[in-house]
Structure 1
Amino acid sequence: MALPVTVREIDSGIDIVSEGQRVNQCCVLIDGFTYRYRHTLDGKRQIIAFHVSGDIPDLHSLHVNYMDHSFAATTPSRIGFVPHEAVWNLCVRRPNVAAALWRETLIDGAIFREWIVGLGRLSGLSRTAHLLCELAIRMRAVGLAPDRIYRLPLTQHELADALGLTVVTVNRVLRDLRLAGLVERDRSRMIIRDWAGLVRLGEFDPQYLHFRLPIAMDEERARVQA
């Protein structure tokens, strides 16, 4: 609570940090929804991570302060900027906090690995189901997805760039999920109608998220029972 935090409001579609930029502060997502991405040489975008309230998307910049990707808001977001020096001093004074931050980066890496497996081995339908399950769990953990209903402020273009699909395919996949009675989307509101069915389709196992919360046990039980 004593950390020096500068809070800024960021509009949707605006880069918070850009690839190639040198940074001397960490960002805490206080409210909103953000993503990390890279562009290929021909301008195609690949989204490599989504972040929800409470995440620290660029914690790795404490050790590698040259950004090899960009970080942007998908919806108007409130970001807290904390100087690296203050975070370093906190880690020195409070080893338990340093351990918690290190654990955060390890879980971030686990999510990357899960995404790579999905992009390489799952069908477009399955990887979409997997992403919707992951976001439901992560947002429920911070109180933003009661009854597996949550705000998903992503366009079909953004979903396509995260899932390695075309916009046409994303549109068809979302329709198929709806017709199968698994989900319902009302603009930016995502409603999961059949959690067990969505888990099966997405081959979703929440263990890679490494939650130390009862929610993880609840979701695991649902997966096993399915």
Structure 2
Amino acid sequence: MNPSQYADRLIRKLETLADLSDEEKHALRGLPMTVKAFGADQDIVREGDCPMECCLVLTGMLFRYLVLDDGRRQIMGFYIPGDIPDLQSLHITIMDHSVGTLVPTTVAFIPHQSLNDVNARYPTVANALWRDTIVDAAMFRLSMVGLGRKSAHERIAHLLCELLVRFKAVGLADDERTCAFPITQGELGDALGLTTVHVNRVLRDLKRDGLVTLRGRSLHVDDWERLRELAKFDPTYLHLEGRKATE
């Protein structure tokens, strides 16, 4: 990516949530950004940190997580290009969780002060960023429902549906049914409360039944309607009014 494309990642994401004027887009392109590349399995921000900047995902994928005292890890969300997974650090002093990389990932760090200045001058941008945090909370609520009430097949199917819709909304799905999927079976287990053996069994079932194909680090949905039915997936909670969700 070249520097002129950095802010476009953020603009494309915010346009899934609000209509931005040319002036507002210009203001976002004027945000100062410090770009850094990270390897896989590296922390971007740690629990207990007091960050003065937010990170915008440019390439790769991040995840939000907590580690218990005994070393067990709970992943609470996956974040794709255009996302700002630590946006709440604008309003909280101390991070109560960590954000790390799944794969080699490039992020742009944006100073809190600069984001706050843009928010003060452009209420539509502020509202879009606020809506982004609301959608993040909605994804967390659906994850809780899955952990508490859904079967392993339903949980995994729902996550696959969600990721495809999110990648498509920001123009990063290779086609109508294919997107990046660099998540390992162990990471799926940490996110969905399943053992790696159980995750492996479910993925084999989904492939056998002609619902999905996982090849390398990509996901292809072979039968969207059946996968969505299995997952009981309704994309309303993603609030993608600005972009057409997968049908």
Given candidates 139, 149, 160, the residue that maps to 1:121 is 149
User: C-alpha displacement at 1:40, in angstroms?
Assistant: 1.4
Is it true that 1:77 corresponds to 2:88 in the alignment?
no
User: C-alpha displacement at 1:143, in angstroms?
Assistant: 1.4
The list of structure 1 runs, each at least 4 consecutive aligned residues, that deviate by more than 3 angstroms after superposition, is none
Give me the whole-angstrom Cα distance separating, in 2, the residues matched to 1:83 and 1:109.
23
Match of 2:136 in 1: 108
Equivalent residue runs for 1:101-180 within 5 Å? 101-145=129-173, 146-180=175-209
Give me the whole-angstrom Cα distance separating, in 1, the residues matched to 2:233 and 2:105.
28
Match of 1:91 in 2: 119
Match of 1:203 in 2: 232
Structure 2: state its 5+ residue gaps: 1-28
Give me the whole-angstrom Cα distance separating, in 2, the residues matched to 1:34 and 1:102.
20
User: The residue matched to 2:176 in structure 1 has which SS?
Assistant: helix
Given candidates 86, 95, 103, the residue that maps to 1:67 is 95
Structure 1: state its 5+ residue gaps: 220-226
Alignment check: 8 A CA contact 2:169 2:243 kept: no
Aligned length: 218
User: C-alpha displacement at 1:41, in angstroms?
Assistant: 1.7
User: The residue matched to 2:244 in structure 1 has which SS?
Assistant: helix
Q: What per-residue deviation string (whole Å, max 9, x for no partner) do you get for residues 142-194 of structure 1?
A: 11222211110111111110111000000000000001110011121111000
User: C-alpha displacement at 1:87, in angstroms?
Assistant: 0.8
TM-score, L = length of structure 1: 0.94
Q: Which moved more, 1:3-12 or 1:141-150?
A: 141-150
Match of 1:10 in 2: 38
CA RMSD of aligned residues (A): 0.9
Is it true that 1:183 corresponds to 2:228 in the alignment?
no
User: C-alpha displacement at 1:214, in angstroms?
Assistant: 4.8
Give me the whole-angstrom Cα distance separating, in 2, the residues matched to 1:10 and 1:47.
19
Q: Which has the higher contact order (CA 8 A, sep 6+)?
A: 2
User: The residue matched to 1:54 in structure 2 has which SS?
Assistant: coil
Give me the whole-angstrom Cα distance separating, in 1, the residues matched to 2:108 and 2:117.
18
Q: Identity over the aligned pairs, expressed in percent?
A: 49
The one-letter amino acid paired with 2:107 is I
Given candidates 76, 85, 89, the residue that maps to 1:48 is 76
User: The residue matched to 1:64 in structure 2 has which SS?
Assistant: coil
Match of 2:47 in 1: 19
